[in-house]
Amino acid sequence: MPITVYESFRAVFYTPFYLPHALGSYEAEGVDVTLGTSPDLDKVAAHLGAGQADVYWGGPMRILMNRDRDADLDLVGFCEAVTRDPFFLVGNRPNPDFTLADLAGVTVATVSEVPTPWMCLQDDLRRAGIDPAGITRVTGATMAENAAALRAGTVDVAQLFQPAVEELVRSGAGHIWYAAARRGPCTYTTLYTVRRTLEAKADELHRMTRAMYRAQQWLHRHSGAEVAAALAGFFPDCPPEILAAAIGRYKSLEVWGRNPVLPREGFERLSAALLSGGLIARAIPYDACIDMRFAEAVVAEDD
């Protein structure tokens, strides 16, 4: 049976999800996967429930948010690829000895498009003994607008992902203060579906997970430039050298997992951040949200 998978939006940190399409990994595993883009990220549960999409990729944040609102929803993640936070704090001046306390007294433009980057950063601040409410934030602008504001000097720090980070660094207009990946495992993106699809299309999803694992292995064997060349069609407007540098930096920060198993530690760190930031009101157990049967099976096949 064919599988329709929706991406949340186009982003370099989703590289492992594009690779099976670019490398022919799905075809090699005998599974027919069609890639589309979500028409509305607030309706992912409805899309999956109605069969409009069989699988989404996105943050376990969405699984947790939807389950928090409706305990009867059965969204479940089954194949992780982005295992650390891919966002950065980029300042308008060098700050090689940065600590989170440096955010007091400067203007910080945070991500408005999705909630997870700020949820994780505010949790970092709390753990460092800093009240997030004391940070002067610009909250309503897009990342592109925030990057432009950093160049113009109207904000001091911007929270961004690649390739905007590489573009700013290479131009001399931005300096990396903090790579959020350095906090350690904090699961960021997984394939997810509803449980009835997990059961009804178990063979296809097992094959899909195996293809993802092969793509992950390929990713970690190749350079940023080689990966960028494979993905050029997905990022036609990004200069090859910028894309290669962005991918290389993500690899060096271990943003991408080496296998599709979603670690409990990373899930719990994300869940704690969403709780501390008030995005969810209750803790939801790992086993209620995550099913690693396919991921663990494909890893075991290599043993």
pLDDT value at residue 217: 97
Q: Is the pLDDT of residue 9 over 90?
A: no
pLDDT, position 113: 93
Map tokens 């709780």 to a residue.
Answer: 275
Distances (CA, A) of 179 to 83, 89, 98, 105: 14, 7, 11, 20
**Amino acid in the structure at residue 278:** G
Residue 85 or 57, more confident: 85
What are the residues facing 91 on neighbouring strands? 157, 175
What is the value of pTM for the model shown? 0.95
pLDDT at 41 (0 to 100): 67
Q: What is the DSSP letter of 208?
A: H
> What pLDDT shows up at residue 66?
87
Residue entry with tokens 């995005």:
279
Does 37 have pLDDT greater than 90?
no
Superfamily covering domain 3-84+186-301 = Periplasmic binding protein-like II (3.40.190.10)
User: Which residues in the chain are classed under CATH 3.40.190.10?
Assistant: 3-84+186-301, 88-183
Is residue 45's pLDDT more than 80? no
| pLDDT tens string 104-129 | 989 999 999 999 999 999 999 999 99
pLDDT surpassing 80 at residue 288: yes
Q: What is the rounded average pLDDT for all residues in the chain?
A: 94
Domain 88-183 fold: D-Maltodextrin-Binding Protein; domain 2 (3.40.190)
pLDDT surpasses 90 at 300: yes
Tokens of 140: 């309503």
